[in-house]
Amino acid sequence: MATLSAQIVAFVNFKGGVGKTANVVNIAASLAATHQKRVLVVDLDAQCNATLWLLNKLAWRKHTEDKRRSVYQLFKDKAVGTHLFSFDDAVIHGVPISSNGFRLIGGLHLLPSVVELLEIEQLVSTRIAHGSHKYLFSELAPRRKDYDFILLDCPPHFFSMTKNAIFLADHVVIPYIPDFLSLSGFQQLASLVEAFGAQVTGNKTALGRTRISAIVVNRYAKIGNVFQQGLLELEVLTSKLKEQKLIHEKTSVLTPPIRACVKVAESPAVHLPVLLHAPGSIGETDYSALTRSFLEHYEGLA
């Protein structure tokens, strides 16, 4: 059953290559295609990875050629006082789109990015004292009623776009690779998210503070004891961070971990989520199970 108002979830990590975009695209596709949820993916990364996973380059360039139909214009309007962005014009319904124009997942929508977003990142960062962390919230919060889930694909840093995502979101998911460096980075990231939430909570008292509430483990492989030890250490750290109130008290490491899979790695090149590119693959199997865990977890927190 559809929720009355979208749950907004930001996928955040200041490290690149940890699986943020793969998680966003494949969970979103499974939510829409398998569970009949209305889902919006918002690409907040100037690298445009989520956009180009769900659109081929020709369709992307045609849609965003004047940049107004992208998140670029949303932020530019807020920063310089123009009024050129239209959500209804910018959002692409039914992605991915086949070569003959057939919309493959009707309930999956995309608000695309462009590389010029990097320029706006710098402009927005100069306006932080004037509430620039609320730009995305002011535009997208009224759209909650139109979706069951809004998933935010954040860039690999903790600057203005990521802060906008955290302020808008109800929850933060941390995509994670179980190794020592990721473990130490997770603790630092939890501190950053909590500190930012404490800083801006006065502006968002009706909705409460955004907190880390789930972790997704990516590129899992049974090689000796390295990854299993990493998972055990992650569980210990998660308990510690709960005690320190740096993450949500119901934060969960969602299962199953996503195994390394060549079919998932191939999927961006063919502009399809793995459930369409390789049904029955271990990537599709893992993401189907992970999406069920994601849905149960967040319906429990609603």
**What's the confidence (pLDDT) of residue 2?**
43
Residue 182 lies in a domain: yes
Does the pTM surpass 0.85? The reply is yes
User: What pLDDT tens digit does each residue of the chain (302 aa) get?
Assistant: 344 589 999 999 998 899 999 999 999 999 999 999 999 999 999 999 999 999 999 999 999 998 999 999 999 999 999 999 999 999 999 999 998 889 999 999 999 999 999 999 989 998 887 899 999 999 999 999 999 999 999 999 999 999 999 999 999 999 998 876 677 789 999 999 999 988 886 555 445 678 899 999 999 887 767 677 888 899 999 999 999 999 999 999 999 999 999 999 999 999 999 999 999 999 999 999 999 999 999 999 97
1 within domain boundaries: no
SS3 for the chain, per residue? CCCCCCEEEEECCCCCCCCHHHHHHHHHHHHHHCCCCCEEEEECCCCCHHHHHHCCHHHHHHHHCCCCCCHHHHHHHHHHCCCCCCHHHHCEECCCECCCCCECCCCEEEECCCCCHHHHHHHHHCCHHHCHHHHHHHHHHHHHHHCCEEEEECCCCCCHHHHHHHHHCCEEEEEECCCHHHHHHHHHHHHHHHHHHHHHHHHCCCCCCCEEEEEEECCECCCCCHHHHHHHHHHHHHHHHHHCCCCCCCCEEECCCCECCHHHHHHHHHCCCHHHHCCCCHHHHHHHHHHHHHHHHHHHHC
What CATH number has the domain bearing residue 129?
A: 3.40.50.300
User: Directed axis angle between helix 117-125 and helix 71-80, to 10°?
Assistant: 30
Does 42 fall in a domain? yes
Domain presence at residue 160:
yes
Which domain, by its residues, includes 176?
7-301
Question: Residue 71's pLDDT is what?
Answer: 98
Q: Has residue 253 been placed in a domain?
A: yes
Q: What is the pLDDT of residue 157?
A: 93
Task: Tell me, yes or no, whether 59 lies in a domain.
Answer: yes
Structural domain count of the chain: 1
pLDDT at residue 202, rounded to an integer: 54
Structural domain includes residue 2: no
What backbone phi and psi angles, to 5 degrees, belong to 169? -70, 155
Query: In this structure, is residue 202 part of a structural domain?
Result: yes
| pLDDT for residue 5 | 86
pLDDT (0 to 100) of residue 183? 78
Q: What is the pLDDT of residue 178?
A: 81
pLDDT at 3: 46
